[in-house]
Structure 1
Amino acid sequence: MGSDAFTVLLVEDELADAALFQEMLADVSPEITVEHVEHGGEALQYLLGKAPYAGRPRPNLVVLDLNMPVMDGHEFLREVKAHEHLRALPVLVLSTSDHPTDVQRSYLGFASGYVVKPGTYAEYTRVLTAVESYWRGVLRLPTIGELVGEERP
């Protein structure tokens, strides 16, 4: 939908799920760049620009799995939202869990949205089309400069 550069940071420990997400998103919107890390600890290092992620593009959106080793999605939300310059970064939870406790904890942890992973290819395509349309078409996101405090109103 949008024509500007758009980067998604996918935080997903299941490599098959990550590959499927990337493949399907490329079908929906091939110009979106997807950066992939396998757990919340790596995602935090990525967002803070620490090695080996120094110089990588700042994401416009984080797509976060909840159930991961090392640092799970709830821990990641707590950590990322504690950093003032990362707090406004949108985080969309994409999880197999439809448990009300996971949904509630995610929103209480300041997740920007919660989507249950679809069970079929057609449903997944529909969800990714809606996500792409919303995050790149309908929604007004802050610029990278606004997020890091470089641009003031």
Structure 2
Amino acid sequence: MPQRPFHLLLVDDEVADAELFEEVFREDFPEVVITRALNGQEALDHLARSAVDPAVPRPQLIVLDLNMPVMNGHDFLQRAKAHDGYRSIPVLVLSTSAGVRDVQRSYHNFASGYAVKPASYADLKALIQRVSDYWRGAVVLPRIDQLME
């Protein structure tokens, strides 16, 4: 029995990082549909479109980098979590920064989790496996149609 699609919004301006992330998901989790945004503003625009256009997938999980142009991850988190319609979408920060201030600020702005980007392909695969096991298996997420309620 085929699994239902799981919609993930990847917000990262580093093209190589995003392509590697997508490659791991394509290989190991083909049912995950990834939409990419290059910065926080593009991510907010996607969320706004998904609220009014059924053809635009509403993410069940957002994976967010912090250091991006136009709107960084901290500003995105602050705006998204202040919006009633987006607040319940879990956000996993995936950043090269292990800085205490970045971690604290992310959780202060209601990030659902924080992980440091791995340096190797094998470590990235292992991290994505753990992320998938947790967000797609261990926890109960609201249905997409319940996220606006």
Establish whether TM, by shorter chain, passes 0.5. Answer: yes
SS of match in other structure, 2:123: helix
Q: For residues 146 and 98 of structure 1, what CA distance do their matches in structure 2 show?
A: 34
Does the 8 Å CA contact 1:93/1:113 hold for their aligned counterparts?
A: yes
Q: Which residue of 2 aligns with 1:96?
A: 96
What per-residue deviation string (whole Å, max 9, x for no partner) do you get for residues 70-98 of structure 1?
00000000110111111111000000000
Q: What residue identity is the alignment partner of 1:120?
A: S
Q: Which residue of 2 aligns with 1:137?
A: 137
Does the 8 Å CA contact 1:46/1:54 hold for their aligned counterparts?
A: no
CA RMSD, aligned part only?
1.5
Q: What residue identity is the alignment partner of 1:45?
A: D
Measured after TM superposition, the shift of residue 54 of structure 1 is 7.6
Q: Which residue of 1 aligns with 2:116?
A: 116
Within a 5 Å distance, the mapping from 1:45-60 to structure 2 comes to 45-49=45-49, 55-60=55-60
Q: What residue identity is the alignment partner of 2:137?
A: G
Measured after TM superposition, the shift of residue 26 of structure 1 is 1.5
1:105 aligns with 2:143: no
- How many corresponding residue pairs? 146
Which segments of structure 1 move beyond 2 Å, counting only runs of 4 or more? Answer: none
Q: For residues 132 and 17 of structure 1, what CA distance do their matches in structure 2 show?
A: 18
Measured after TM superposition, the shift of residue 110 of structure 1 is 0.2
What per-residue deviation string (whole Å, max 9, x for no partner) do you get for residues 13-43 of structure 1?
0111110110012122111000001000000
Q: For residues 39 and 54 of structure 2, what CA distance do their matches in structure 1 show?
A: 17
The gaps in structure 1 that reach 5 residues or longer are none
Q: For residues 58 and 89 of structure 1, what CA distance do their matches in structure 2 show?
A: 9
Q: Percent sequence identity over matched residues?
A: 50
Q: For residues 77 and 54 of structure 1, what CA distance do their matches in structure 2 show?
A: 24
TM-score by length of 1: 0.91
TM-score by length of 2: 0.94
Q: For residues 44 and 55 of structure 1, what CA distance do their matches in structure 2 show?
A: 16
Q: For residues 19 and 127 of structure 2, what CA distance do their matches in structure 1 show?
A: 16
What per-residue deviation string (whole Å, max 9, x for no partner) do you get for residues 119-151 of structure 1?
1111100000000110001110001121111xx
Measured after TM superposition, the shift of residue 55 of structure 1 is 3.0
Q: Which residue of 1 aligns with 2:80?
A: 80
Q: For residues 99 and 4 of structure 1, what CA distance do their matches in structure 2 show?
A: 37
Q: For residues 46 and 117 of structure 2, what CA distance do their matches in structure 1 show?
A: 24
